[in-house]
């Protein structure tokens, strides 16, 4: 049994190589262990004071978002709020101020819950995950990373160091909306993110929609771009809703039935597309869009 | 496995010898001996165990104490201003925002962190600031008016 505190990525990688599990904020790992979901790993390496894992930086390929960015930082970061707004919408909804200060983006992504709030936004914004181990590094799409509920394809020796986002372009907007029964300490009943780019004439030039809590992993909606390009923003929403409801594969649990989830995911997808298109058109809608438009409550 | 380390609580360094998996709440109450921080749900839901970690609110029931090494932990005992009550404590009493009192230490820690982030929060921001804290008997109206009274008092 061991607990070490790493201050550099290299130190953390050596500990992972020796079999330790990383702990960032612990809001999934420790809470899960206390629930009896999985025992607390015997060997842990704390990664929460590794400076290299923080920050949002613009680079030639776009933007690098450090795995250690907390939800509280993401929801107020000027680059994220300005150009990758759906991520800020999501982070602003996580838990409570305490959860948002200690919980990290990397933990959210690597925990692999199908209901994770940042997953659908990262997917529509085409984020890629940079994984590093003692033997090297590789960058994978999120689609390749998430393998099922609570499972990723990362090896135990790999640390998620950053998420990479492509450069933001003109007349692009994004939004994340989740259905919730209360305004704090909630898990998405279902959630939908959209990224929309508008052409000069105001019609849709490109669009992506992804869904949370309706499949074993975050679900990217197929065919949505083909179906929506060239339509007006107003006409796009209902089509996105129909595709989302059709492709969702929700379960029934104590929070909602599969039928209710399938219906509501369409409603959320439409609202996400509408809000993303309004942002693409230059309208400023405060983060989180759930609150400023009052569109996420059951 | 038992491990030994030091913990800074309210500016005092305490030596701790405890199981590696022991949560911060239990270490504060049992090893450090400060019992103002309460165990409510013990499940990261109710906020009775709220402390500050480097000034930010933290559910201490679900945080490993070993991970708080090298950081500053503030509990309700660290909120008093010498022998004087903190304005939040006084205003909660005056507004009748304390009934059974069990949620109060956690409420105060969240409210203190909120007022440090946002000196004059709007009502909605105050609600969000306290959204990780449950009260089951006083109700929230008086607690929120105490927070507002404190914001006014500290900024005039
Ligand atoms: C009260 C409460 C409310 C919550 N509300 C929400 C919510 O509304 N929405 C939501 O999406 N989530 C919510 N969560 C879940 C959780 O807070 C988030 O998923 C958070 O982002 C996890 O981050 P963390 O740093 O605490 O992760 P940790 O618990 O530290 O880690 C989670 C997992 O990821 C691994 N890991 C962490 N960082 C890395 C890394 N860099 N590389 C490789 N592996 C890594 C860990 O080994 C572990 O398996 C909530 C949790 C609680 C307790």
Smallest CA–CA separation between A233 and chain B, in Å? 31
**Cα–Cα distance between A181 and A192 in angstroms, integer?**
16
Is any atom of ligand 1 closer than 6 Å to the C-beta of A119? no
pLDDT digits (tens, 9 = 90+) for A154-170: 999 999 999 999 999 88
pLDDT digits (tens, 9 = 90+) for A215-231: 999 999 999 999 999 99
**Cα–Cα distance between A288 and A86 in angstroms, integer?**
8
Predicted confidence at residue A4, as pLDDT, reads 97
Is any atom of ligand 1 closer than 6 Å to the C-beta of A94? yes
Predicted confidence at residue A297, as pLDDT, reads 77
Contact B20 A30 (CB under 8 A): no
A4 to chain B, any CB pair closer than 8 A? The answer is: no
pLDDT grade, residue B58 (50/70/90)? Answer: very high
Chain A neighbors of B61, CB-CB under 8 A: 34
Q: Which atom of ligand 1 is nearest to the CA of A110?
A: 34
Sign, Cα dihedral of A163, A208, A142, B44: positive
**Cα–Cα distance between A94 and A71 in angstroms, integer?**
7
Is any atom of ligand 1 closer than 6 Å to the C-beta of A13? no
> Which ipTM value was assigned to this complex?
0.96
**How much of chain A, in percent, has pLDDT values that exceed 90?**
92
**Segment 44-103 of chain B within 8 Å of chain A by CB:** 44-45, 47, 50, 53, 56-59, 61-64, 66-67, 69-70
Smallest CA–CA separation between B89 and chain A, in Å? 21
pLDDT digits (tens, 9 = 90+) for A15-35: 999 999 999 999 999 998 877
A21 to chain B, any CB pair closer than 8 A? The answer is: no
Are A126 and A109 in contact, with CB atoms under 8 Å apart? no
Domains of chain A as residue ranges with CATH: 2-28+52-165 (3.30.465.10), 172-292 (3.30.390.50)
Are A294 and A231 in contact, with CB atoms under 8 Å apart? no
Chain A neighbors of B21, CB-CB under 8 A: 33, 40
When CB atoms are compared, the residue of B57, B63, B70 closest to A30 is: B63
Does domain B2-78 match CATH 3.20.20.370?
Answer: no
Mean pLDDT, rounded, for B104-120: 97
Contact B132 A30 (CB under 8 A): no
Q: How far is the CA of A111 from the centre of ligand 1 (A)?
A: 6
Half-sphere CA count of B96, side-chain side, radius 13 A: 5
The CATH architecture one would assign to domain B87-154 is Orthogonal Bundle (1.10)
pLDDT digits (tens, 9 = 90+) for A57-80: 998 899 999 999 999 999 999 999
pLDDT digits (tens, 9 = 90+) for A166-191: 999 889 999 999 999 988 898 999 99
Predicted confidence at residue A37, as pLDDT, reads 75
Mutation test of the interface with chain A: which of B24, B26, B44, B130, choosing the one with the most A Cβ atoms within 10 A? Answer: B44
**Cα–Cα distance between A105 and A159 in angstroms, integer?**
13
B23 to chain A, any CB pair closer than 8 A? The answer is: yes
pLDDT digits (tens, 9 = 90+) for A192-215: 999 999 999 999 999 999 999 999
Mean pLDDT, rounded, for B24-43: 97
Contact A31 B132 (CB under 8 A): no
Compute and round to an integer the Cα radius of gyration of chain B: 15
Beta strands in B54-94 (DSSP E): 56-59, 72-74
pLDDT grade, residue A298 (50/70/90)? Answer: low
Predicted confidence at residue A117, as pLDDT, reads 98
Q: Write the DSSP symbol of residue A129.
A: E
Mean pLDDT, rounded, for A252-275: 97
A31 to chain B, any CB pair closer than 8 A? The answer is: yes
User: Which H or E element spans position A272?
Assistant: helix A258-280
Mean pLDDT of chain B: 96
Neighbouring residues of A119: CB distance < 8 A, sequence distance ≥ 6: A108, A109, A142, A146, A210, A212, A217, A218
Cis check: omega of the bond before A247, within 30 degrees of 0: no
Are A74 and A88 in contact, with CB atoms under 8 Å apart? yes
| CA distances (Å), origin A11, targets A5, A8, A134 | 9, 5, 10
Reading the block at residue A210, the tokens are 């992804």
Question: Domain map of chain B by residue range?
Answer: 2-78, 87-154
Q: How far is the CA of B2 from the centre of ligand 1 (A)?
A: 26
Is any atom of ligand 1 closer than 6 Å to the C-beta of A45? no
């Amino acid at each position: 049994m061991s607990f070490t505190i790493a201050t550099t990525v290299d130190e953390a990688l050596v500990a992972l190589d020796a079999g330790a599990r990383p702990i960032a904020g612990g809001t999934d790992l420790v809470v899960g262990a206390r629930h009896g979901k999985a025992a607390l790993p015997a060997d842990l390496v704390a990664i929460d004071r590794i400076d290299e894992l923080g920050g949002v930086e613009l680079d030639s390929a776009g933007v690098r978002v450090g795995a250690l960015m907390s939800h509280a930082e993401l929801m107020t970061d000027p680059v994220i709020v300005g150009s990758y707004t759906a991520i800020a919408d999501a982070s602003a909804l996580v838990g409570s101020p305490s959860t948002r200060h200690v919980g990290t983006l990397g933990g959210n992504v690597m925990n692999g819950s199908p209901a994770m709030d940042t997953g659908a936004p990262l997917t529509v914004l085409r984020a890629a995950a940079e994984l590093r181990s003692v033997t090297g590094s590789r960058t994978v799409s999120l689609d390749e990373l998430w393998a099922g509920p609570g499972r990723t394809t990362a090896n135990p020796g790999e640390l998620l160091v950053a998420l990479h986002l492509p450069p933001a372009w003109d007349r692009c907007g994004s939004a994340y909306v989740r259905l919730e029964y209360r305004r704090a300490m909630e898990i998405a009943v279902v959630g939908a993110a959209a990224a929309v780019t508008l052409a000069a004439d105001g019609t849709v030039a490109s669009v992506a929609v992804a869904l949370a809590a309706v499949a074993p992993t975050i679900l990217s909606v197929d065919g949505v771009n083909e179906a929506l390009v060239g339509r007006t923003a107003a006409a796009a929403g209902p089509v996105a809703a129909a595709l989302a409801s059709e492709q969702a594969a929700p379960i029934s649990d104590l929070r909602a039935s599969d039928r209710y989830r399938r219906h509501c995911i369409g409603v959320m997808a439409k609202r996400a597309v509408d809000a993303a298109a309004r942002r693409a058109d230059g309208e400023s809608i405060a983060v989180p869009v759930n609150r400023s438009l009052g569109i996420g409550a059951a | 496995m038992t491990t030994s380390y030091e913990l800074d609580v309210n500016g005092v360094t305490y030596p701790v010898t405890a199981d590696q998996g022991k949560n911060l709440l239990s270490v504060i109450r049992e090893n450090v001996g400060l019992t103002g921080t309460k165990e409510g749900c013990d499940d990261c839901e109710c906020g009775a165990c709220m402390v500050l970690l480097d000034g930010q609110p933290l559910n201490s029931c679900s945080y490993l104490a070993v991970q708080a090494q090298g950081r500053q932990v503030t509990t309700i005992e660290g909120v008093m201003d010498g022998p004087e009550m903190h304005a939040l404590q006084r205003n909660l009493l005056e507004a009748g925002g304390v009934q059974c009192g069990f949620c109060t230490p956690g409420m105060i820690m969240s409210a203190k962190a909120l007022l440090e982030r946002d000196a004059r929060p709007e009502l909605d921001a105050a609600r969000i600031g306290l959204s990780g804290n449950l009260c089951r008997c006083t109700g929230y109206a008086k607690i929120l008016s105490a927070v507002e009274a404190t914001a006014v008092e500290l900024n005039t």
